[in-house]
Chain A
Amino acid sequence: DGGITQSPKYLFRKEGQNVTLSCEQNLNHDAMYWYRQDPGQGLRLIYYSQIVNDFQKGDIAEGYSVSREKKESFPLTVTSAQKNPTAFYLCASSWGGRLNQPQHFGDGTRLSIL
């Protein structure tokens, strides 16, 4: 079955620690995205990539980093510089690299502070 796989489902971060969230897709989509979802705030764009080896900052990129070395994979690192990382993180992908295409989402990773 084609889809987007995010792992782990739950993640705990200690103070001063970097953690990496995995996102893999087998939809052959060009574009991939990372969003953060907080209660009452909707989805906020962290980073997006329209093509391999290229990515752009979204609205809330500070404290996060990404890489796009393969078409299928777009990992997100939450660094120690992100002071309020507790949230639900969603990865999405879309066909063709154009932002007007519908985005398809994974089932998220819930990150909490220890």
Chain B
Amino acid sequence: QKEVEQDPGPLSVPEGAIVSLNCTYSNSAFQYFMWYRQYSRKGPELLMYTYSSGNKEDGRFTAQVDKSSKYISLFIRDSQPSDSATYLCAMVWDGSEKLVFGKGTKLTVNP
């Protein structure tokens, strides 16, 4: 079983839709969870950073962590064409030697 699983998509939605992006993980030690957005030919940009379980909201973005299910989500409300990108989840725990990334989900928001 891979440490972090993320559906690569592609995911295509109409403008204004609510988007749900997800990652599952196998290592219960993970404590810190991140979501990155990566536009084509650019570096990943940090969107959300959360610790342990619960929800965190920032504008149109909500990150959700369910440690009991080993499942994290990123919700995008009122999606815009400018949200079209690849979204990467990442996670780490205290004492870990590296950040573990999902392979990314490619999202297209159609006008």
Contacts and interface: CB of A to CB of B under 8 A. Distances in A.
Contacts of B94: 100
A56 interface: yes
Contacts of A105: 36, 43-45
A81 interface: no
A61 B98 CA distance: 14
B46 interface: yes
Interface string A71-114: 00000000000000000001010000001101111111010000
Contacts of A90: 43-44
Contacts of B104: 42
Interface residues of B, number: 25
Contacts, number: 52
B46 A42 contact: no
Given A56-B97, A99-B92, A42 B43 contact: no
Contacts of B75: none
Contacts of B36: 105
Given A102-B49, A103-B46, A48 B96 contact: no
A42 B102 contact: yes
A97 B98 CA distance: 12
B41 interface: yes
Interface string A42-77: 110100100000001011000000000000000000
Nearest to A45: B98
